[in-house]
A and B are shown apart, each in its own frame.
Chain A
Amino acid sequence: MKKIIQLIIIAFSVVLFAQNDKIKFDKFLGKKAKVVIVKEYTFSKLYDYKINSQDFDSIAVKPYFINIPEKVLTKKYLTNLQANKKDSILFALNLSYKLSIDIQGKRYIFIKYRVLKENQKEKYQVLIVSRENSIWVEHIPKKVELNLIKSVLLNSSINLLYEFYNTSNNPKYPEINKLKSATKSGNLLDIIKLEKVLRENQSTLKKYLDN
């Protein structure tokens, strides 16, 4: 009898000990809720080239050779720019504005520009550049996010972006004031919402774009 009791106590201790360090980790599953998560870019800045038009940077008539994002743009049109003569400028790049933004730890520069060729203005384009081994190079976007931002720039002017971003309403822009709340998530300008608003209201907002 004494031995049976001892065996029972040992068996009980083994079971108790086993429970102490054996947890079924796969059982803590939880209930599902729907949430909206807002992601804010840690760095995003706009630069207006036109403000400095009295300087040099809004019109490029020759290639740049220093390692700056704009060099990548002039390299794209190197032959055309090199053909310019001092008294005969037939080709120029009109830089409108750029957005510098950090996406998942990497700095991207979006440059909105257009070609001016023989006094004709071509349509606006956006060049994306990023830094690879300290050198600025063109980045061909594959991510949806980059194409979304590109679309925002193509359908806006820097002034339009500021007016959408500002919390106070400017009476000069009644159409923007009406659409503003549809572009925000909290205080930030939501690029997914903004892209949709810009795309769906192109005719209304056309007058605020660069000519």
Chain B
Amino acid sequence: MKHLLTLLLLFISIFVFSQQTENSNIILGYSQQQDLYFYEYQPRLKIKAFLKKQSQAKNEYPEELVQSVLSARTQEWVNYNTLGGETKASQKDDTHFKRVKKMNKDKNYFELHHKLIFKIDGVETAIIKFFLIQENEQPISGAMFMQKINNRWYVTSRSDMSMFVILIMRIKSEVLEGALFGNSKNIEITNLYKKISSENGIDLKAFEKEFFDWYLPENSSKKELFIDPKTW
């Protein structure tokens, strides 16, 4: 019995010691007050693939980048639109580029709904909600995340913004405007604004948290009011 007790104590010490040698996670970060610009495309802006050459794509504005993304008919052009170039760009095959060249430009286009522009770590950033309208297909919702480097916009991604990008894609334009400015006549949207706003501005993390809560069964009415049913 004495030996068993000694073994047990030894085992516990080893276990505790090995636990204490490990690093401990601690979630650190910081918050910054920023200016953010909201624009709703009224009427919805149709961006069509009218660019024929990469040299025509200046990408000086977010909407120009959207047009360039839709028009890109070579892998080099896709790389040009993407931050990080070839190493980060999605690889498209020849079938895709042939389709871009041949498609009816008036029946296959991006329809833009709303846009946010703000800065992350001093870098100008935009998120645009759009629908891809394709001939004989159901529209597909999307949100393009882009950043401006050396006066040119590039498609890119940031893992810490992925949830926020989905929020921007799914939310109705009027709800987003009401949540940012508190100017809605709808009481639920006004309540949302009150929940996420502080003296320093709209807390985007709190906004994300509210977004998650809309998917709880008890909040189905909010989900119906706030989420665009045509989005995935």
Contact = CB atoms under 8 A, between A and B. Distances in A.
Contacts, number: 152
A47 B23 contact: yes
B31 A39 contact: yes
Q: How many A residues touch the partner, as a band?
A: 35 or more
Given A25-B60, A25-B64, A37-B31, A30 B38 contact: yes
B181 A33 contact: yes
A138 interface: no
A198 to B, nearest CB: 14
B37 A36 contact: no
B20 A30 contact: no
A86 interface: no
Nearest to A186: B205
A37 B206 CA distance: 10
Interface stretch (A64-72, A170-178, A189-197): A189-197
B127 to A, nearest CB: 12
Contacts of A26: 61
A13 interface: no
B64 A31 contact: no
A39 B27 contact: no
Contacts of A191: 28-30
Interface in A149-198: 161-162, 165, 185-193
Contacts of B20: 48, 51-52
B29 A38 contact: yes
A48 B31 CA distance: 27
Contacts of A39: 29-32, 120-121, 160
A162 B38 contact: no
B28 A37 contact: no
Given A48-B20, A185-B30, 14 more contacts: A28-B62, A28-B115, A30-B37, A30-B117, A33-B35, A36-B201, A37-B34, A38-B29, A40-B160, A45-B23, A46-B24, A52-B21, A185-B29, A187-B27
Top 7 closest pairs, chain A to chain B, by CB: A34-B201, A30-B39, A30-B37, A21-B50, A25-B61, A40-B29, A45-B23
Interface of A: 20-21, 23, 25-26, 28-42, 44-48, 51-52, 100-101, 104, 161-162, 165, 185-193
